Amino acid sequence: MPSLCLTAQQLASLTATSPPHRLRGAVVEGFGRGSKLLGCPTANLDPASFRGLLTDVPRGVYMGWAQVGGAGQPVYKTVLSLGTNPSFADSREDTVESYLLHDFPGDFYGQQIALVIVAFMRPMEKYNGLGPLIKAIERDVRVGDRALDLDQFRAFKEDDRCKSGADSNANSSTSA
């Protein structure tokens, strides 16, 4: 079992989002590179679900909690990116790409996903090649996995957004 200890530098790099950002929408197909190129399959939130929201939120890598399929379903840790992906030239529009720290038996396109985004981890960066990008993603996942077990972040696993099955019109970047 991995250590729950974070280095002082890792902990200092996390900035709690206050209040947390809450999003809900359908999972749509992305560019297809998460699992194929990066070994990190992501659930891509339908851009219509967050268009006009989060305009003042820094683009970067975040961590939080995710639930697929609505109320009563399990809630999982997630590390996600918000913004364009500067390492890829075909990424011009903002995306929300969530990597859930759970092995799913298949895709879940079309299902609803609820996200509670609790902390900023780092800004987006452009990497020179897939190797450095994959290492950064692996580091983000390790740090997020450990940090989400800390009391200050674990409490959001029980967030009403995931438990209530609230509709997709209730997206916000404020407390709900």
Give catalytic residues, as residue numbers: 97
Query: Strands, DSSP E only, in the chain?
Result: 15-28, 43-45, 60-68, 75-83, 95-100, 112-123
Backbone angles phi, psi at 42, to 5 degrees: -120, 150
Say how far apart CA 11 and CA 8 lie, in whole Å: 5
In whole angstroms, give the CA distance from residue 27 to residue 175.
23
Which residue do the tokens 């297809």 mark? 32
Residue 122 near residue 61, CB atoms below 8 Å: yes
CB 42 within 8 A of CB 175: no
Distance separating alpha carbons of residues 112 and 70, to the nearest angstrom: 7
**Residue 163, helix vs strand vs coil:** helix
> For the chain, first and last CA: distance in Å?
35
